Structure 1
């Protein structure tokens, strides 16, 4: 397989999408466009969906890109151009532990995430918490990845059910 140049990485929060995107960008020399930076303004103000879509269309018209997610209102854009979708289809325990560990680290360090935004104790304890989102949306995200994988009319989808399986695939990529 030739090295892909238009890659969509998909999975539930905490599965490692951004970590994988950064690694692939370095390994393959393909630009990575962090989706959260394109969707959130300072103060956790969500960019209007029409603007999100326009930004994604501009990126996906390029010949080389990596996106670390795809959301409502524009998911079809990268799917229509990707030459590879990587689905991180890990068991709930793996992704939730990763997400909880990352969230606790961000709370304790005050780490900036996108456009100067930070997770706060209030955001973690709210009904819109990323932890709550994981618990309520996990099944839907897995079903979506699996449907893409089963659909021969879409781009090729590699599903990885463990981090070890992903590591084996990564070991076979050009350096």
Structure 2
């Protein structure tokens, strides 16, 4: 079972569906289209409020001209050790200035959520039972000090210009 979590808690309902050859969005649902299908769709319509699924090998800069039409970008994490989704989030938030919902989907583990938040993710499709339980309990792990700036603001720590402290969101 997949549950959608944001810092405000678990969503009661989510209408976004990752479309595949076997699964299509039904009435009242919105499709998350793979990048190539999304680019084809935006070339044929002026529709706004669209959703796109970014896979690890995708080039997110192809979205730059269409970000004003995108409501949700889902970034796929196929395995816990594939960190390309973090780079996608940083590019979308910091270089492309994407302001909409950025969702981590796939292998979302509790230990990665704080780092995902720092790089700009603001929603998570969670299937891992341990992660769901810890998020329900409000037990989000974290590292107080960081060495690099990210999409989420951080305060500098006295004495070290290169060290930063997590700012509560």
The TM-score range, normalised by the shorter chain, is 0.3 to 0.5
TM-score normalised by structure 2 residue count:
0.35
More strand by share: 2
Select the structure with the greater relative contact order (CA < 8 A; seq sep ≥ 6): 1
TM-score normalised by structure 1 residue count:
0.34
